[in-house]
A and B are shown apart, each in its own frame.
Chain A
């Protein structure tokens, strides 16, 4: 059971997508695990053949438990033809709104038995309510009784996980905080002109520019990109920017945009858009949760001026953006109205000093002044 973040202690194996005898290669999705962050697609770390499955579906096991044995590619021999080689039907994951999921947990409704009537068969709150009524009133099937005690639903599990991670962060990480005000005139002018040329599907949001600027700035200040492990800083293998995404109905996740510094803004925008959609649908991949080397949070949508974050351990920094708003600003001695954003940095003082943190914010500012080069 892989650790999908510092706040994860256990996960429930929901489904195997591969069977003993199946060939797998690094990055293949082999199983679905339910965590406090929703159903996560588990990617395999190495090439090989599934030798043996050790954890059956519907079993909750602690992080670190061996789920299956994989024979390495070098020693792998094609297994005998047999039932083990059958490839299971492609898994169709349920589309369930978070509210419906929570309600189903509260009412003790098995989502497998609910017929979805929402878009693309999504299960809505109404569907769960109907299923709950039918299961208690209908003649068919055993009446489903709400569990006697239901101390935690999926949402309160997530709350507890966030509580544990944030409490650990504040207990262990000596945070320092910096902020700077950035003139977004050039970036927004470029964005408007660019979006006029782009089809609706390819249009960009300011967040894509902000994430790209952070990623490129981290190349200049690498000691803010990585993890604090066993009393020492470990530089990130790439610049994998975790994007804090609020979930409908509460809670948040911050999955990674991998190698954000190497992607053109168009690709980055599509990546963020896809990540948001999958985070809210509850179908993130294990690498997305395990890999972030820094987190970016953007609370500007809610009208917040500045966001001073709590670092997600074992990361060592978090960049926050507030609202982009028209404000008075002095340019070349002239008072002007300019769109401004406050960028903040929360960083781990064990891994870096304020001087280096300041350089990161300065680099973000500088990069946003030439948006066409992002």
Chain B
């Protein structure tokens, strides 16, 4: 998947959890856990949404790699490579 397609999946998952956020306000290098005030429950739902949408397994140990938009795109690119 392209980075743009992944970005759309990620932003879609985030706005589902926090409907009030403005997608344009998600800064690529900043932890959206902090920026969007996501708690661990929100974050678990975010990971679940990515799993459902992309069919990738995401072990708990990898969660920190999904804390920023850039990090999440890089991680999911590697996971979905070759499709």
Contact = CB atoms under 8 A, between A and B. Distances in A.
Given A196-B60, A200-B51, A205 B19 contact: no
B4 interface: no
Interface in B62-78: none
A227 B57 CA distance: 45
The DSSP consensus for interface residues of chain A is helix
A59 interface: no
A119 B58 CA distance: 23
B19 A124 contact: yes
Contact of A119 (B16, B59, B60): B16
Interface residues of B, number: 20
Interface in B7-22: 12, 15-16, 18-20, 22
B31 interface: no
Contacts, number: 54
Interface string A186-223: 00000010011000110101110000000000000000
B51 A122 contact: no
Contacts of B12: 119
A201 B57 CA distance: 11
B40 interface: yes
A122 B16 CA distance: 9
Contacts of B58: 200
A337 interface: no
Contacts of A201: 48, 51
B15 A273 contact: no
A203 B19 contact: no
Nearest to A301: B39
A122 B20 CA distance: 10
A277 B15 CA distance: 13
Contact of A122 (B19, B41, B60): B19
A155 to B, nearest CB: 12
Nearest to B60: A195
The DSSP consensus for interface residues of chain B is helix
A128 B51 CA distance: 31
Interface string A269-303: 00011001100000000000000000000000100
B15 A118 contact: yes
A100 B20 contact: yes
Given A118-B15, A124-B20, A205 B41 contact: yes
A359 B37 CA distance: 35
Contacts of A205: 40-41, 44
Interface in B46-62: 47-48, 51, 57-60
B44 A192 contact: no
B20 A273 contact: no
Contacts of B59: 196
Nearest to A272: B41
A200 B20 contact: no
A95 B40 contact: no
A273 B45 contact: yes
Given A99-B20, A203-B60, A248-B20, A119 B15 contact: yes
Contacts of A98: 20
Given A95-B19, A97-B18, A97-B20, 15 more contacts: A97-B19, A100-B19, A100-B20, A118-B19, A119-B15, A122-B19, A196-B59, A200-B48, A200-B58, A201-B51, A205-B41, A205-B44, A248-B20, A273-B44, A273-B45
17 contacts: A97-B18, A97-B20, A98-B20, A99-B20, A100-B19, A119-B12, A119-B19, A122-B19, A124-B20, A125-B20, A196-B60, A200-B58, A205-B44, A248-B20, A273-B45, A277-B45, A301-B40
